[in-house]
Structure 1
Amino acid sequence: MTVFSRETIVLASRSASRCAMLDQAGVAFESVPADVDERAIEAEMGDADPEEIAQALAAAKAVAVSAQRPDSWVLGSDSLVEVDGHRFDKPASKQEAVDHLRAFSGRTMTLHSAAALARGGRIDWVASDFARLAVRDLSDSFIEAYIEAEWPAVGACVGVFRIEGPGPQLFSRIAGDQFTVLGMPLLAVLDALRAREVLLA
């Protein structure tokens, strides 16, 4: 369904949730994943606010793909999780996923989701939003069953959850926009695309 689009944008990601959001919203797009060293960018930014880091990662992805597709609007997006002042990346192994869930148990997770638009290799727009997710107390037996059921899918997810899958099992309360929880501030993205006459107003 692409009835609202005047032109096709490029999504600098193969994220299933981000692709689904754009598709269901009626945005014409093609997916071209960005080749970006996310950990190097995070290291370079040091103790910057998580919101700033998420925005920088989204912008880096948009610019990287825009250099290849200079005539198209390119959308980059990224999410970052913070718990008690500590940033968590995507788990690199099942054991690291277990360790993350144990660290999250009984605490509140702040999920920052950012998006950026680039054209001609230059950033034109950046925005972000955040949601707070209260993680319930997780037993070791639950964590083991959850990882067995969800690995390797959650290896690509900061926060070790897919909210469109069994992820809600982790939480006792969620405060924030549903699209931000899914990994992109979609309403802001749609506004930005309309302002640039990519979508019908």
Structure 2
Amino acid sequence: MSKLILASGSKVRATLLAGAGLDFSVRDSGVDEDAVKRLFRGPVDEAGTDALALELAMAKAAAVSHGEHDAFVIGADQILSCEDMRFDKPRDMDEARANLLKFRGRTHILHSGVVLARAGMVLWSFSDRARLTMRDFSDGFLDTYLARLGEKVKTSVGCYQLEGPGIQLFEKIEGDYFTILGLPLLPLLAELRRQGVALA
């Protein structure tokens, strides 16, 4: 089997790949995500945000695969959009609270992009969206939620993990579970099998 590398420091993505039974290593891409976002010229709509998520994923995969010519490299990224605004991971608890108040009672979109690269060339790319509607939770619930999770809310762009207390923020979820976690896993596994990286 060919060598497989995940160009991401995301523990969730690594857990998903390990859970699928893949043998891989992890390399930090070192990509300046803010610089990629500043240089991106696409529109601030759903299609443009899909394209930006893929642009970030491609940058990560290409950066690692340039130095690992014989390896297949997975790059992935996720962006949250809500009413034509894009959101990054909160920098502190105050920003997490402000973001959750913006999402409250509204539908936001998670745009997840994944690419497979080798020797600096992108071999395959895929993007997907999930739509999540937060319920109109009370201020008291929000206070309790933030106190319970603490600094963990800063580890995800939406300030939640669905596999934990974050599920209580929602009234409706539409989309693939793995896309929500930031790695459209089924299409990726199909491509890895097609490339001979995973058993068919």
**Residue identity in the other structure for 1:42:** K
Structure 1 segments unaligned to the other structure (5+ residues): 1-5
- Tell me, yes or no, if the aligned pair for 2:108 and 2:131 is still in contact at 8 Å: yes
2:170 match: 171
SS of alignment partner, residue 29 of structure 2: coil
SS of alignment partner, residue 151 of structure 1: helix
- Tell me, yes or no, if the aligned pair for 2:2 and 2:70 is still in contact at 8 Å: no
- Name which of structure 1's ranges 165-174 and 40-49 shifts more when overlaid on structure 2: 40-49
C-alpha distance in 2 between matches for 1:28 and 1:8: 8
- Tell me, yes or no, if the aligned pair for 2:4 and 2:72 is still in contact at 8 Å: yes
- Establish whether residue 27 from structure 1 lines up as the match of residue 22 from structure 2: yes
1:185 match: 184
What does 1:50-199 correspond to in 2, within 5 Å?
50-199=49-198
What's the TM-score once normalised by structure 2's chain length?
A: 0.93
Size of the alignment, in residue pairs?
196
The CA deviation at 1:189 is 0.5
- Establish whether residue 12 from structure 1 lines up as the match of residue 7 from structure 2: yes
- Tell me, yes or no, if the aligned pair for 1:58 and 1:77 is still in contact at 8 Å: yes
1:3 match: none
The CA deviation at 1:55 is 0.4
1:76 to 1:161, Cα distance in 2 relative to 1, 3 A: same
> Identity, % of aligned pairs?
42
**Residue identity in the other structure for 1:176:** G
Cα deviation 1:82-106 (Å, max 9, x = unaligned): 1111111111111111110000000
Structure 2 segments unaligned to the other structure (5+ residues): none
**Residue identity in the other structure for 1:165:** G
- Tell me, yes or no, if the aligned pair for 2:103 and 2:134 is still in contact at 8 Å: yes
- Tell me, yes or no, if the aligned pair for 1:102 and 1:138 is still in contact at 8 Å: no
- Tell me, yes or no, if the aligned pair for 2:42 and 2:52 is still in contact at 8 Å: no
**Residue identity in the other structure for 2:137:** L
**Residue identity in the other structure for 1:178:** Y
**Residue identity in the other structure for 2:174:** A
The CA deviation at 1:156 is 2.3
The CA deviation at 1:56 is 0.3
